[in-house]
Amino acid sequence: MQKSHNIVVLENEETNALAVALYCWGHVPSIFNNLEDTLRLLATSSNQFDALIINVELNADEVSRLDEFLHKSSLPSLVLDNSINRNLTQGEVDYLSSKTDIKKLVSWLDNINKPERVFEEKNPLFTLIYGSHAVGETKASDVIDILKVARKINKELEITGVLLYNKGWWLQVLEGNFSAVTSLFFDHIQKDKRHTNVTLLVLERTTERHFANWDMGFYSTQDEQDSNLSWTDLDTHPAGEFIKQKLTNAQEYTKYFMK
């Protein structure tokens, strides 16, 4: 049985509208059937929008999946207070997400013409980059153990990428199909108790694997004998330019990987 739900997109730096959008495209495509024109209008209008409401029809299974995603990604699921509801004049609000990446989302829509096209392709590639802070002391042996597990899992999931560690900070690039990289991030990486402040920095479609021949290699600033720990900063790391380009708006992370 279908039930109408309202998803509110607000200006909130702590959430990521693009992540929600990509998830819904992959799992609940009907959400975006009539969204393209609305988003473009929002992005190009000179008026200041406090919020955008998207009304969608979801069945119980789709609601469950959306609830699970919002919970795992730490996106708030709530009903706004009456004063905001009156301003929106659209009735009950079921989900709250961010408007931060609206213009990026609109640009992406322009590039592909129709959002459905992305998921009509067989296993389109996506790049996911996250940053986090290690809990407690992380030794070189700990990093090597993590790398061994990551290599095994990622090989099974056909995920490529690079894992970087520096002075308690992690950066990882994952490349693979949408379901593989998002499931790995939300179901496993984000729940890992060995790190905190896990932040999704980039989730976007890509046309090629930049680390196809890598084995989830990593580096550390520690002066270790292991050849896997040979890189000292993003200026000398082979993946440095790619990562710096992708993380131009995430200086709080890149600064920990620069001299």
pLDDT of res. 114: 43
Q: Is the pLDDT of residue 246 over 50?
A: yes
The predicted model scores a pTM of 0.50
Which residues of 68-207 form beta strands (DSSP E)?
95-98, 125-134, 160-166, 169-177, 195-206
- Alpha carbon of 50 to those of 37, 57, 118, 161, 241: distances in Å? 18, 23, 29, 37, 36
Phi, psi of 99 (to 5 degrees): -105, 5
At residue 210, does pLDDT exceed 60? Answer: yes
Structure tokens at 3: 């039930």
Q: 205 near 137, Cβ under 8 Å? A: no
Q: Are 130 and 41 in contact (CB under 8 A)?
A: no
Lowest-pLDDT range of 3-7, 8-12, 28-32, 245-249: 8-12
Q: Rounded mean pLDDT of 230-258?
A: 54
Task: Tell me what percent of the residues of the chain surpass a pLDDT of 90.
Answer: 0
| Average pLDDT for the chain | 60
How high is the pLDDT of residue 211? 76
Strand partners, 161: 174
Task: Look up the CATH architecture of domain 125-257.
Answer: 2-Layer Sandwich (3.30)
Q: Which residue has the higher pLDDT, 205 or 158?
A: 158
When pLDDT is cut at 50, 70 and 90, the band that residue 58 belongs to is low
Query: For the residues 180-193, what does the mean pLDDT come to?
Result: 84
pLDDT at 226: 40
Burial of 173 (0-12, 13-18, 19+ CB in 10 A): buried
d(CA 123, CA 116): 13
Q: pLDDT tens-digit profile of 92-139?
A: 444 444 444 344 444 444 443 344 444 444 567 888 888 888 898 888
Instruction: Report phi then psi at 33, rounded to 5.
Output: -60, -40
Domain ranges for the chain: 3-120, 125-257
Residues 6 or more apart whose Cβ sits within 8 Å of residue 134: 165, 168, 169, 170, 194, 195
Closest-CA residue to 163 (of 220, 117, 119, 124): 220
